[in-house]
Every structure is written in C-alpha cells, then in structure tokens.
Amino acid sequence: MYRTLVLSLTLVACGDKADDTAIATEYSWPGGVFQFSSTAVDDECLDGGFVPLFLPEGEGTTSDWDYTIEIPSWEDMESGSTYSIDLQEPFTAMEITVTQGDADGQAVMTGAQQTGVAFDEDNYPGCTVDMGIDALILLDGPDNVHGFATLSIDSADGEFCPEFAYPCDVSLDFTGLTVE
C-alpha cells in the first residue's frame, strides 16, 4: 500500500507541464518623460516654511514643476542610470542616479545635492540651505507614476535664517504623467 501511495504522488508531481498556466514573466517598464506635480509637503524643519516652494497656492493644492523629468526604462535602471535633471526655481540642475528598487515597479533616486537654495526669500531674505534629496518613485503604469521625496536639510546660511535643528527633513509627495 505504501509503495502504491508513493508511486501515485510521484506521478502527480511529475504531471504534464503544459497544464501550468502561471508562467513567470520578467518585469518591464518603458521609461519616459513626465510632468511632475507636488501634491503634499510635510515640513519637519520650519513649521511649513518650505511649503511655498512646492505648493505656492498652499496645502491642499497641487503644483506642476517647472521642468519635465525623464525616468529611464526598467532595464536601464538595473545597472543605475546617472543624468542631470532640473526641478523648479530656486533649485538648480543636479545630477541623480536612478536604480531599480527592492520590488518590481519601484525606482530609487539618489545622489541629488543642492546648495544655496533660498527657501523663503520673503520671510527670510538671504537665507539659503544645503540639502540632499532622495526619492522613491512607484511606476504605476507606462503613463503615470507617483512617489515620495525626502529633502534632508543639513545647513543654513544667512543673517536672517531661522533656527534649524540639523539635520531635518522635508517630505514631498508627487505624481507624474507622461508627456512624450
């Protein structure tokens, strides 16, 4: 009886592979050029002082970035894709590296640095900050993405700068729609 049961289980386990309907496919994403928009800002540095940079009309609104952003294809992210992007004033061009994240459909942006950013010229004239920027971009489909960026402020300079606790973070939520 034991041998018959073992033989039966072996035959079932070695069944015809043509019956398998789940075939693993490699993840693919084409990349493209996107119009990004800020959707929310959490300012842990200055009680909302950074909100006007990303949401000039205030919280609860969205704001398109001045420049479009290229996101490389999934295949190009595998070994890391390094290039320059522009966001919006008062930021300047910066070099970033985009790599595949820990799961399919996650892109990780690292390496961005900004120095001398005037964050609120009206309230703090001449005050500039230095920061690093990292982001997680979720590739929702070939035409749309969303993500989360962390701007880590590590210094401020200027006569009229407010008191900062260093380092401090500003979290930015964004969406993006393809333009090309």
SS3 per-residue string spanning 103-169? CCCEEEEEEEEEEEEECCCCCCCCCEEEEEEEEEEEEEECCEEEEEEEEEEEEEECCCCCCCCCCEE
Type of residue at 22: A
| pLDDT digits 0-9 by tens, 66-120 | 999 999 999 999 999 999 999 888 889 999 999 999 999 999 999 999 999 887 7
Bridge partners for 134 per DSSP: 150
Q: Is residue 22 part of a domain?
A: no
Give the domain extent around 90.
Answer: 30-178
Report pLDDT for 1. Answer: 45
Report pLDDT for 12. Answer: 43
| pLDDT digits 0-9 by tens, 50-62 | 888 899 998 899 9
Report pLDDT for 43. Answer: 87
Q: Is residue 114 part of a domain?
A: yes
Q: Is residue 141 part of a domain?
A: yes
CA dihedral over 98, 103, 106, 111, signed as positive or negative: negative
Q: Which residue has the higher pLDDT, 21 or 155?
A: 155
This prediction's pTM: 0.82
Q: Is residue 173 part of a domain?
A: yes
Total residue length of the chain: 180
Start-to-end CA distance of the chain, whole Å, equals 67
Q: Is residue 21 part of a domain?
A: no
Structural domain count of the chain: 1
Q: Is residue 20 part of a domain?
A: no
Q: Is the pLDDT of residue 13 over 60?
A: no
Q: Is residue 104 part of a domain?
A: yes
Query: In the chain, count of helices (H) and strands (E)?
Result: 3, 9
Percent of the chain with pLDDT over 70: 86
Q: Is residue 13 part of a domain?
A: no
Residue 27, helix vs strand vs coil:
coil
| pLDDT digits 0-9 by tens, 26-47 | 899 999 999 999 999 998 887 7
In 3D space, the residue among 47, 44, 54 whose CA is nearest the CA of residue 168 turns out to be: 44
For residues 32 and 142, give the distance between their C-alpha atoms in angstroms, rounded to a whole number.
8
Residue 52, helix vs strand vs coil:
helix
